Amino acid sequence: MSLNHETGVDQYPTQNDIHTPVVPSLPATDDPATGERGPRQAERLKTLSAGMMAWLVNPTSHQTKALTVAQEVEVGLQLRSLLPPANSRCGTCGLSTSHGHDDVCSLVQFRRIARHNCITKLIEVALKRLGGDAMVVREPHLIGDHHRTDLRVSGSAAPRGILTQFDFTFISTSSVDASRVAYTTSKQQLASGKGPWTAAQSALDAILTRKAATKTTLYQQRLALRGISFIPLVFTLEGAAHLSATNTLKHWKSVLPSFPYFFSCFSTFLLRSRAQTYALRQYDDQNVIAA
């Protein structure tokens, strides 16, 4: 309200009083009473600073697999803003939405499975092009065991040249388990006097390490008995990678002539699975309103 200096009484409403914000405010859990961004907000920003954002650097690739359409880029930019979706409730499960709900929604698991299979197939095809002594087997069987990893490689396709199996995992930092790990780690770091960005990086590392440890516990001993090395490849949906995944990508970069295209496809597939869920709800709602 504007102040009448003669009477000292609020007289006319300002534009801010009349109009409601176009964009909803950030969740309260990320905005403490001090008005500063909270530890979860910092951890998400750290995740978004990961290097796997090729869809943003090269959104108009002439290659079909790496091509991002306008809606996908729009969704990607919206996700990078850390703002919640425009709709207060999910059109699929009916629950209240928040940032990251598009990938933790219980009714879109088929999109997560499709993303996992597409990226596994992408890596299989890329490594098979190495030829020579490179051997690549997708979803190899373990004799006497029902567990199966995603890829078995050897030769130049393997980081150390020995028989190695990989298992891919793509995790959402908005999931209940990841949020719990991030909260506990950030709280411990801040209590020990560490800064918010150090705490955020520690929280992100803890999320990735926890998932990698789970995969290692499941597969390493089984494969060691068969003389096979195991490497967990764990990524967040924004492209942050566990140390073992980062080292593996560095090796593939050194041996794959088409690594930039492979990297663009990898980045685009991570975005596309989220855009298919996020964008369809948004545009379906707009079509209903327009009708």
Residue range of the domain that includes 150: 37-290
- Residue 286 predicted with pLDDT over 50: no
- Residue 74 predicted with pLDDT over 80: no
- Model-level pTM greater than 0.75? no
More confident of the two residues 62 and 79: 79
pLDDT given for residue 30 in this prediction: 42
**pLDDT tens-digit series, residues 86-112:** 666 777 777 777 777 777 888 888 888
More confident of the two residues 146 and 86: 146
Where are the alpha helices (H) located in 142-195, listed in sequence order?
A: 176-191
Tally of structural domains, the chain:
1
Q: Is 1 contained in some domain?
A: no
CA distance linking residue 122 with residue 245, whole number of Å = 16
pLDDT given for residue 281 in this prediction: 46
- For 192, other C-beta atoms within 10 Å of its C-beta total 9
For residues 248, 176, 172, 183, the Cα torsion angle rounded to the nearest 10 degrees is -70
What percentage of the chain carries pLDDT values higher than 90?
28
- Residue 21 predicted with pLDDT over 60: no
- Residue 240 predicted with pLDDT over 60: yes
Q: Among 23-27, 237-241, 255-259, name the most confident range.
A: 255-259
pLDDT given for residue 149 in this prediction: 93
**What are 241's strand-pairing partners?**
235
Question: Residues 27, 28, 33, 38: is their CA dihedral positive or negative?
Answer: negative
- How confident is residue 276, by pLDDT bands cut at 50, 70 and 90? confident
Q: Is 190 contained in some domain?
A: yes
pLDDT given for residue 18 in this prediction: 53
CA distance linking residue 143 with residue 163, whole number of Å = 16
What percentage of the chain carries pLDDT values higher than 70?
69
pLDDT given for residue 145 in this prediction: 80
- Residue 59 predicted with pLDDT over 50: no
47: tokens are: 């995740």
pLDDT given for residue 36 in this prediction: 40
More confident of the two residues 181 and 38: 181
pLDDT given for residue 94 in this prediction: 76
Q: Is 24 contained in some domain?
A: no
**Between the CA of residue 260 and those of 125, 199, 237, what are the distances in Å?**
15, 32, 19
CA distance linking residue 266 with residue 143, whole number of Å = 31
Least confident of 2-6, 72-76, 107-111, 173-177: 2-6
Q: Is 3 contained in some domain?
A: no
Taking all residues of the chain, what is their mean pLDDT, rounded to a whole number?
76
Q: Is 49 contained in some domain?
A: yes
CA distance linking residue 248 with residue 243, whole number of Å = 9
Q: Is 23 contained in some domain?
A: no
pLDDT given for residue 208 in this prediction: 94
More confident of the two residues 14 and 105: 105
- Residue 245 predicted with pLDDT over 70: yes
Q: Is 209 contained in some domain?
A: yes
pLDDT given for residue 214 in this prediction: 94
pLDDT given for residue 17 in this prediction: 57
Q: Is 21 contained in some domain?
A: no
